[in-house]
Structure 1
Amino acid sequence: MSDLDTRKSKLESNKLQKRLRRYVGRAIEDYTMIEEGDRVMVCLSGGKDSYAMLDILMNLQKSAPVNFELVAVNMDQKQPGFPEQVLPNYLDTLDIEYYIVDKDTYSVVKQKVPEGKTTCALCSRLRRGTLYAFAETIHCTKIALGHHRDDIVETMFLNMFYGAKLSAMPPKLLSDDKRNVVIRPMAYCKEADLERYASIKQFPIIPCNLCGSQENLQRQNIKAMLQQWEKENPGRVQSIFGALQNVKPSQLADTALFNFTDLPLDREGERSDYEYQEAEVSSSNIPTGVQIIDAISLG
């Protein structure tokens, strides 16, 4: 590689890092994800997204306007062939508190899920329960997950197509029992940017052999659909994500979310002008006895 190519590559790398830091910082600010004195449990899976999240949060920590701690946590789910030393070896190179939590959820998933069926839902539920409990054990006030913008949009379509509900992954979530707060600092980040970042940083990626090898998963179908949309109309995924931030309950159909029953008319006082409100009646049939106000202009 020539000196010019090297400088160009370094410039692109710096621009990418600044963009990701800006997106993460904005998400943290928009949703008040991290506050003074927080102790944040950064969940590491060994995938590109969680590595990037830890790296970016450690960088932001140095210049953040609030003081907070970071604790890296990986859950070893006892998958056969899992390279147990990859994450400890990597984390030993960083100046950070970390824990490897052992819990054999792999056996549970394989026992309960029929061969060929999607394991992701049960796997994530078991993992979530363990991590929620461990967050309390080590006194963490926030749990950071590495989901990005594309994950959030994909989840919305998964829930729509296969669950008949309109929901996604919120950037910040209070657990049902109100004992934990989950944050997704990379909610504004694109997956393509994170793939490039992981390649530049050369993170020691660990593939998920439990569910990653299953073909034709529903999420993969959704991902392919969105990639095709993005190819045909660049910016569409960002537009869809923007819609999640601009919800109008009265324009949907959930009676628990909006009161469609009590919508009383109120025609007291002066009415504001409607656009194109003037019209003439060119033909009519008014039955005998029907009273009509003078405001109608009969042609």
Structure 2
Amino acid sequence: MSEEPAKQQKTRLNKLQKRLRREAGRAIEDFNMIEDGDKVMVCLSGGKDSFAMLDILMNLQKSAPIHFEILAVNLDQKQPGFPEHVLPEYLAQVGVSFHIIERDTYSVVKELIPEGKTTCSLCSRLRRGTLYGFAEEVGANKIALGHHRDDILETFFLNMFYGGKLKSMPPKLLSDDGKNMVIRPLAYAREKDIAAYAELREFPIIPCNLCGSQDGLQRQVVKEMLQDWDKHHPGRIEIMFRSLRNVVPSHLVDTELFDFKGLERGYPQGAAAQRGAEPASALPEMIDILSL
């Protein structure tokens, strides 16, 4: 490689790192993901997203105004042909504390899921349960996952198209039992930026041969739909993601989210209980979207 391309490559890497650092830092601040004294268990699958997340968190750790601990954890699910040496060698090289959990969830999934059926649901439940339990064992009060902005949008459309629910994948989530706090520091990061960063950093990517190679997955269909929109309608993805941060309950149809029955003239927030609120005539005039 000539000197000029190498220099351009370094410049591109620096720009991507700065962008991912900025986006991760903003997500961490917006959702109060990491606080002083936290022990963050960074879940490393061997894919580009988790490699990038660990790299960025380690980078932020050096300059953060607070102290937090990082423990990288990989769940070895005993998939045939899984290169067990790759992650320990990489983690030792970068100098981060790490632990490899060995659980044969692969055999469980193959035994319970009929041939040809998707394995993602069961695999993720088994993986999540193992990681939650280990976080308690090591005293980690935060569990960091590598999901990014595109994952969040894909989950939104999956729930809408196939689940009949208007929900997505939150940047910060408390587990049902209240014992584990899950955070997603890459919530604002674009997948294509992460992919480019992973390539430039030359992470030792390990493909998932259990579920990642299956065809016809609903998530893959949605992913391709979003990629097509991004290609033919630049900016649409950014606008859609922005909409997840600008929810207007009074303009949806969920009676539990908004008090439609209690909606009265003069009380635009729908509350007979808000008798003390300013009447509608005293409020700023709203834009009529039909006139635009």
Structure 2 length as normaliser, TM-score?
Answer: 0.90
Give the whole-Å Cα distance in 2 for the aligned partners of 1:251 and 1:96. Answer: 48
Distance 2:286 2:264 in 1: 23
1:274–1:117 Cα change, 3 Å: same
Q: Judge which range, 205-214 or 5-14, deviates more.
A: 5-14
Provide the C-alpha distance between the structure 2 equivalents of 1:226 and 1:129, rounded to a whole number of angstroms. 30
Call closer, same or farther: CA 1:256–1:2 in 2, change over 3 Å: same
In percent, how many aligned pairs have the same letter?
64
Q: Does structure 1 retain, via aligned residues, the 8 Å contact 2:173–2:182? A: yes
Match of 2:281 in 1: 271
Q: Which runs of 4+ in 1 moved over 4 A?
A: 267-270, 272-277
Report the secondary structure of 1:194's partner residue.
Answer: helix
Closer, same or farther in 2 for the Cα pair 1:265/1:81, shift >3 Å? same
Q: Equivalents in 1 of 2:281, 2:239: separation in Å?
A: 35
Counterpart in 2 of 1:243? 243
Letter in 1 for 2:162: Y
Distance in structure 2 (CA, Å) of the matches to 1:35 and 1:66: 7
Aligned amino acid, residue 75 of structure 1: L
1:25 aligns with 2:25: yes
Given the alignment of the two structures, is residue 75 of structure 1 paired with residue 58 of structure 2, yes or no?
no
Instruction: Tell me the residue number matched to 2:193.
Output: 193
- Against the structure 1 CA distance between its residues 271 and 103, is the aligned structure 2 distance closer, same or farther, given a 3 Å change threshold? same
Structure 1 window deviating more from structure 2 (1-10 vs 191-200): it is: 1-10
Within 5 Å, give how 1:161-180 maps onto structure 2. Answer: 161-180=161-180
Amino acid at match of 1:11: T
Report the Cα offset of residue 276 of structure 1.
11
State the match for 1:286 in structure 2: none
| Alpha-carbon distance in structure 1 between the residues aligned to 2:176 and 2:182 | 11
| Displacement of 1:212 | 1.4
Q: 1:269 to 1:167 in 2, by over 3 A?
A: closer
List alignment gaps of at least 5 residues for structure 2. Answer: 268-277
1:154 & 1:206 partners in 2: Cα distance? Answer: 23
CA gap 1:216/1:58 in 2 versus in 1, 3 angstroms: same
Give the Cα separation in 1 of the matches to 2:55 and 2:88: 15
CA distance in 2, matches of 1:222, 1:138: 37
Structure 1 or 2: more helix by fraction? 2
Q: Is the 8 A contact 2:27 2:185 kept in 1?
A: yes
CA distance in 2, matches of 1:193, 1:180: 29
For the pair 1:228 / 2:225, whether they are aligned, the reply is: no
TM-score, normalising length: structure 1: 0.88
Contact 2:144–2:182 at 8 Å: present in 1 too? yes
Secondary structure of 1:176's aligned partner: coil
Supply the AA of the counterpart residue of 2:70. Answer: L
Letter in 1 for 2:31: Y
Q: C-alpha distance in 2, partners of 1:175/1:124?
A: 14
2:137, 2:286 → 1: CA distance?
A: 61
| Post-superposition offset of 1:162 | 0.8
Task: Indicate the RMSD between aligned Cα atoms, in angstroms.
Answer: 1.9
CA distance in 2, matches of 1:171, 1:251: 24
1:200-238 deviation line (CA, Å, top 9, x unaligned): 111111100001121111111001100111111111111
- Contact 2:266/2:280 (CA < 8 Å) preserved in 1? no
Segment drifting more, 80-89 vs 56-65: 80-89
Contact preservation (8 Å) 2:142, 2:181 = yes
Alignment size in residue pairs: 277
Residue 246 of structure 2 aligns to which amino acid in structure 1?
Answer: N
AA at the equivalent of 1:253: V
**Alpha carbons of structure 1 residues 122 and 270: separation in structure 2 relative to 1, 3 Å:** closer
